[in-house]
Structures are given as C-alpha cells and as structure tokens.
A and B are shown apart, each in its own frame.
Chain A
Amino acid sequence: MDAGIEDNSNQDFSGYDVRVTDAAQNGDTFVYVIKSQQISSDTEYRVEREFEDVEWLHHCLLTQEGVTGLHGIIFPPLPAKPGPSLSNSEAKTKKKIESLAMVDDWQMYCRALEEYLHLVTAHPVLVKNPAVHSFLKHREPPIKTKVKKGIFNKLTQAVGELRKEHHKDIDDFFQNERDSNLTLTAFTKAAAERTKRSQINFPVALCSSTEIAIACGHFSTALHLGIGQDDDPADYAFAKMCLKLSEVLDTVKKNFEKVAENDLNTLGFNLELYSRFQDAEKEMLFRRTCKLVDVETANKNLGQAKPQKKAAMEDIKKAADTEFDEISGMAKVEIQRYHRERVRAFQKALIELSDSQLQTARECCVELKQQLAEFKQLCA
C-alpha cells in the first residue's frame, strides 16, 4: 500500500517541524499523537504511534543500508519507555501525589519523543532514511519484524567485548574524546539523578506542604465556626488571621511545586537527555574502537599469513581499513556536531531554568507581598 510513497523519486529531505501533541493510555500501551510538517511544504501530517513503532524506527536507523560510515554516527538516544518502567519506589511515591503531577508525566514523555524526533530529523544523514518519512507520514504504522533487542545497541555489555573498550587509540583526538566522554557521562548521570531525586522527594514535599495548607485551613475553619462578627472581636480577628495564614501557606505550597517543576522541565530534562546521549556517543566510539581492533588484527594476520592466504588477508585488511577510515571520518564530523549541539542545548536549558525560576520567584514575591499587606490591614 505504502510502497509508492517510499520511492526515492520526489524525496524531500528538508527539515521537519515535529510536535507530539498528545498521549493517551490505551490499555497497556501509550499512544502518541504526532503532528509534523516539512518546512518546504504546507501539508501537515497527523499520525498515531505506539512506543513499539518508535523502537522500530530506531532499529531502522541503526541498520540502514548503504550509508558510508554508518557506525560513526552518534545516534540520538531512544526516549524512555513510558509506564511500568518506573521503579517500585518511584511508583509508590507517585501514587501519593495528586493526580495533577501524574498528568505531567505523560507530558514529559511527549516532550522526550518530540525531542528525539527533532534530533533525528535534524540529522543530515538520518533524515534521509525512508523509515523516517514512513513514521511521520503514513497513516498505518509500519510493518515491523521482531527486533532482537540488545545485539546492536548494547555491544558494550557483551563480556568478551569489554576489554576492547580500553584499547589504546592511534589517534589523539579520539583518545581524548573517549576519555572525556567517560568523565562527562558519569557527572551528567549524577546530576540528572540529583534533579530526579528532587522530583521523587517533590511529591513528598508536596504532601507535607499540602498537609500544612490543609491543616491551616482546618485550623481557621474550626475557629471560624460559630464566630460571627458580633462575637468576641478577639476571636473573630484571630479566626480571620488564620484564614489568611492558610492562604499564605497555600502560596508557599504552590511555589514549591513550581520550583521543582521548573528544575525538572529545563535542566532536568536536558541532563536526562544528555546522559543518554553521552551513552550513545560512547557506543559510537566503542564501535570505532572495535573496528580499530579489527584493523590491527587484520594487519597482524596479514603479517602472519601463509603465502596462499596472503591475497585473501590483503583483501580483508583493505576492507577493514576502508571501513575504519569511513567510520573515523564520519565520527569526527559527528563529534564536533555533537558538542556544538550539546553546548547549545545546555545553554538553552540554563537560560530557561533561570528565566523560569526568576519568573516564579517574582510571582511568588508579588503574591506574598500582597498577602502581607492584606494581613497587616486585617489586624490594623
């Protein structure tokens, strides 16, 4: 059905504007609503996709045929799978919080997917993959074959391969990159973890600050009961004060919420993304290192080969060399692009962080000042 559109004629590889506008729980799965439009055209597409479809897309990207130096690409990391991937403790604390915070979760997932699609469609090589078009434009989700997880992506986990990770590089540029990747990854992960911890505590915090706002409300109500204006003026004044106080505590609570939200939406999101991205870079570098090992092995074999095998070994060596050069070439470009992008994204996140926190603080300040004035007036 869809074969015609996948033809290479009339291919438009201009950039996309992708928005993931909605997500809903459909039984066990999440269904995303994705709207996209190519810059060069006016047509807007709207499709519904499940997370499985996203995984399939990712798989297609990783296994694309005919791309020189494919293994040198730093693939944008797959977003987190929504739903039951939450650890038990997170799930429990999440249960405690109001439904409002739960709703924000799906917004985070949407945003994560949106970011992923941005990165993919912005990549000069990846955007040309027909699977991308299929994903974004076709009404029906693509036909998937069962993807064997873990073989391509998680090379680093194969035990025998681990020693290759530390194989010394022949190129300083790459050696440095590998080293700094290691440290940067660790710290980024730690920082991401810490912003998440605030989020995990945040529901608890929300609880306690909600509790107090509620308690104060009860306090004032209980005192207010049966106290009219004609009653003891002291009682009346006291009850009104407590009412005002509960309003203040409500403000405090909302402020807590907002501040945590800001952290999470800006820096938290960025750190989360880039700690995965660092992993993706690490995988790329590893693939290249493996290739390097292959090259060196081929060289060794060539040196040791018996005369009748020499020609075959020569071919293998040439192939390995070529592949390695292709990968390295692509990798170099990718690395530079990656760092530019990373810094830019970080900057954006930091600006957004300080902007949003500044705004929140200003709003809270105004509100508190108002309440303070009202309070002073109340018992003047």
Chain B
Amino acid sequence: MATEREPPPLGDAEQTDFRELEDGEDLFISTASTLESSPTSPEPASLPAEDICVNSNGPQPAEISLDDDLEDLFAEATEEVSLDSPEREPILSDEPSPAITPVTPTALVTPRVEPKTIFVPAMFERSKEELEEEANGDSFDMEIVVSDPEKVGDGMNAYMAYKVTTKTSLTIFSENEFSVKRRFSDFLGLHSKLATKYMHIGYIVPPAPEKSIVGMTKVKVGKEDSSSTEFVEKRRAALERYLERTVKHPTLLHDPDVMQFLESSELPRAVSTQALSGAGILRMVNKAAEAVNKMTIKMNESDAWFEEKQQQFENLDQQLRKLHTSVESLVCHRKELSVNTAAFAKSAAMLGNSEDHTALSRALSQLAEVEEKIDQLHQEQAYADFYLFAELLSDYVRLLTAVKGVFDQRMKTWQKWQDAQAMLQKKLEAESKLQFANKPDKLQQAKDEIREWEEKVQQGERDFEQISKTIRKEVGRFEKERVRDFKAVIIKYLESLVQTQQQLIKYWEAFLPEAKAIA
C-alpha cells in the first residue's frame, strides 16, 4: 500500500477545510495543488563559491538513485533499527490521544508537551564553529521548528501536513521569520534532490526520516489511538532534527532547494518518492546493481586514512546498533515498571478505602496518590529515554549509512578515473597500431580520441582528488557534529534523569509526615 499516493483532484472545498489562521499570516495551501510531476531543476545558484560543482555532474536520477539507496538500505537493516515496526508502538504511553482532525490547537496533550521542553534545538551552541565556516560571515543564527501536524483529507489519500517555521537573522533569507506547510513526501523530495546533487561529490547529506507504511496507514484510516499519536509525534521530531542537521551544513544551507523548501509557500509535488511506483521498482533494480558493483570494486588505496576511517565507522555502526537495542529494552522495562506501579497504586487505594482506622486509611490513600504520580514519572522518563536517547542513536545509524555512501562514491569516482585511464591506454595502443597502417583519417580520429581521453583522465584524477578532499573535510565536520550532538543530547538526558529523582524526592518528602501521623 502506497504511503503517499496522489490525492484525487481536490475541489476547493476540501482545501479550505484545514486552512489555519495564525497571527495574521497568509493562508497556506497544501502542496497537493499541483499534479505535474516534474521536480524542480536547480535554479542558478547564488551560492558562496565553495567546492560545489552543481553543473558539471547534473542530476542523473536514473543512474544514481542515492537517496532511496540510503533509505532502502536502511530499511533492510536488522530489525533492531526498524523504528516503525508495529511492536514498538504499544510500548509507549497509554494516554488517550488528541483527536487528530483538521485545525488542531498547537499543543498536543500534556505528556507530549514534555518533549518540547526537553527538546530545545541545540543550534545556538554551535555558533562559534559555524562562524568559521560561513564564507559570507553571517553568524549562524537559525532555528527551525516543525510543529502542528494536521491531517489533511480522508481515507487512504489523507496525509499529515506539518508546519515548518524558520527564525533566522541570516541575510540570505528575505525575512527573519517565516512558516510554510509541508508534507512528508516534500521532505523526502528535498532529500532526494540534495543527495542527487551532493552525494557523488562527497558531501554527507543527512538522510530523511523513514517512510512507514504501517504507521502512516493507521493515521490515514483515522485510527485515533495512542500509537498513531506517538507515530505522528515521532515523525514530527524526526523531521525537525532532519531539517536542523541539513541547515547546519554550510553548503546545504545555501542550496536553492533548501531555501525554497523553507521559504516558498508552494512546492511542486515530489513524486518519485512513491513507494510502489514505476520509479520505485527502478530504484530497487538500481540498488541491486549498486550492491553488485560494490563487491567488485577493489580499490588501490593510496591513503590509509580512508581505510582507517571506514573501519572506524563500521565499528561505530555496529556499536550504535547494539546500544540502540539495549536502550529500547530499557524503555520497555520502564513501561513495565510503570504498569506495575499503577496496579500497586490501585491496590493501595482499595486497601485505604476498606481500612477502618481513619489515619491509616488516609495515609494509604495518599500512598496510592504518590504511587500514581511515580507512575506518571516513569512514563515521562521512558518518553525521554526514547525520544532523546534511542532516536539519537538511530539517527546516527542512518547518518553513518550516508557517510558510507560517500565513501562508496569516492570508490566509484576512483573507478571512473581508472576506467578512463584504461580507455586511454587502449586508444594509445590503437593509435600506435594505426601508425603502421596508412590511414590518415583514422589516425587523426585516434589522436583526437586520445586527447579526449587524456582530458577525461585528468578530469577523473581531479574529481578523485576533489572528492577525497571534500570527504576529509566532511568527515571532520561530521565527527565534530557527532560529539556536539551526543553531548547535547546526553546532557539533556542526564538532566531529565536528575529531574526525575528530584521529583521523587519531593513526593516522598511530602508523604513521610503523613505516614508519621498515623498513630
């Protein structure tokens, strides 16, 4: 079942249903308005002239389906990282979900408010580093928030629209604060474009969040339970992180597609992301071919750095996945703990009710209340466990896939260079053979071809060196980011742990005198 099918041609009536007025901003119309399928070609860039060769290796979607390569690769990964498997959803909270209808209020139910306070974008911490990288000297000051998920449409053609709000003081944007509405396929489309443009020259493009047929179907069908709320929230948070990571990259930030994504009120529909379209099948085929290619490229590595790094990343990937499994079981356990605590609270309450001794009865009732509050704490902590910790780990597993992809690109580039060299060799041999035959035309042609291939060899070498250089830089960036990211998240996680303990202290301090007052 396709997650993102074309919506049927909408009449205006349905469009107006979910228009949302907010602080006098313009009405936003969903991106479903256009039914043409052409993805935008990159506009002439007004970019700081870094190492981007946008034009030389233009978009070649048929040949290098990198984005979906990454996503599908990941989807194939072991179950531990499959974030959208149905078993996981019941793990999280039991609270009744808010009704997911058009025009919902900004905040979701209470437990969901928590992650918003926990999950403050950590962007401002990095301003110093970004200063170094910004060619035009703008201080990096940008905050992106993805919010207000809204269901648009009905049945299997429904989708969630998210509000993307950008606050920035960067001069490349025309305003300081602006919002647009985007749906999930828009994000995928953005990633697809970026990957096509930048991956093959060595940039680590942050991967978009996963598609999830199961999760999304539940939402479409209107199943308004906690698991679909969880799903939407998880996706919202993931989309936010995705955008944050993308704009943190100085090159990507200035990409016109990115800017258009953030600023334009209308975006042409990205269609190549449909799950089971013809394009989808083509991608699968390409991916298979890629896999075969990988096995046969045996590169002469002249630079040990690359080999070392690849090894390290492989190592890191394994460790992250293991840790992710463990964190998931931690979340599970906390949930169990919460269930037990709630059950005990009920028992204590009943005991209190049937108790004749007044003071003891009161104390027991209060114990029941304390245990209920503790139960709530458990749930919130489990929530933090998951949203902070587990999601961080899985984000990085996905990022590592992108990193590996970039290394693969380098290999391909090398291969291309080698192929050019081999071809040149052939042409040279052909030429020397022709020297003895007396065919001046063919000889000239041979000489022309040799020149042509010499150029290609040189270009190949240049490309290879370029991509190697870029990768080194990117990896350096990635590692710094990794440290910053982990640090920020772990600190928040630790803080949440501390907070939980402090709450517990309060509860027990309040209860103790009650217990003492019994007799």
Contacts and interface: CB of A to CB of B under 8 A. Distances in A.
Interface string A108-136: 00000000000000000000000000000
A351 B516 CA distance: 6
B363 A350 contact: yes
A339 B336 contact: no
Contacts of B332: 208
A33 interface: no
Contact of B519 (A212, A245, A347, A365): A347
Interface in A333-372: 339, 343-344, 346-347, 350-351, 353-355, 357-358, 361-362, 364-365, 368-369, 371-372
B183 to A, nearest CB: 35
A371 B497 CA distance: 11
B479 interface: yes
Contacts of A375: 487, 490-491, 494
B340 A187 contact: no
Contacts of A368: 494, 497-498, 501
B310 interface: no
A201 interface: yes
Contacts of A339: 356-357
A198 B338 CA distance: 10
Interface in B323-362: 323, 325-327, 329-330, 332-333, 336-337, 340-341, 343-344, 347-348, 350-351, 354-357, 360
A219 B497 contact: no
Contacts of B511: 354
A201 B343 CA distance: 13
B293 interface: no
Contact of A343 (B318, B337, B519): B519
B504 A361 contact: yes
A326 to B, nearest CB: 26
A218 interface: yes
A235 interface: yes
Given A198-B340, A241-B483, A358 B508 contact: yes
Given A339-B357, A365-B502, A209 B333 contact: yes
A354 B512 contact: yes
B336 A194 contact: no
Contacts of B490: 241, 245, 375
A218 B354 CA distance: 51
A151 interface: no
B301 interface: no
B55 interface: no
Given A350-B367, A355-B512, A372-B498, A187 B347 contact: yes
A190 interface: yes
A183 B350 CA distance: 10
A371 B340 contact: no
A188 B508 contact: no
A211 B509 CA distance: 32
Contacts of B494: 248, 368, 371-372, 375
Is the interface on chain A under 10, 10 to 19, 20 to 34, or 35 or more residues?
A: 35 or more
Interface in B479-518: 479-480, 482-483, 486-487, 490-491, 494-495, 497-498, 501-502, 504-505, 508-509, 511-512, 515-516, 518
A343 B326 contact: no
A216 B501 contact: no
A234 interface: yes
A358 B360 contact: no
A238 B482 contact: yes
Nearest to A244: B490
Nearest to A190: B347
Contacts of B45: none
Contact of A219 (B319, B498, B512): B319
Nearest to A205: B333
B322 interface: yes
A317 B482 CA distance: 91
Nearest to A216: B323
A377 to B, nearest CB: 11
A197 B322 contact: no
Contacts of B347: 187, 190-191, 194
Contacts of B333: 204-205, 208-209
Contacts of B497: 248, 252, 368
Given A208-B332, A222-B318, 12 more contacts: A195-B344, A198-B341, A212-B327, A212-B329, A215-B323, A223-B315, A235-B479, A241-B487, A255-B501, A358-B508, A361-B508, A372-B494
Enumerate the 8 nearest inter-chain pairs by beta-carbon distance, A residue then B residue, closest first: A234-B479, A191-B347, A215-B326, A350-B515, A212-B326, A365-B501, A347-B518, A358-B508
Interface of A: 180, 183-184, 187-188, 190-191, 194-195, 197-198, 201, 204-205, 208-209, 211-212, 215-216, 218-219, 222-223, 232, 234-235, 237-238, 241, 245, 248, 252, 255-256, 339, 343-344, 346-347, 350-351, 353-355, 357-358, 361-362, 364-365, 368-369, 371-372, 375-376, 379
8 contacts: A190-B347, A191-B347, A215-B323, A222-B319, A241-B483, A346-B518, A351-B516, A371-B494
Interface of B: 312, 315-316, 318-320, 322-323, 325-327, 329-330, 332-333, 336-337, 340-341, 343-344, 347-348, 350-351, 354-357, 360, 363, 367, 476, 479-480, 482-483, 486-487, 490-491, 494-495, 497-498, 501-502, 504-505, 508-509, 511-512, 515-516, 518-519
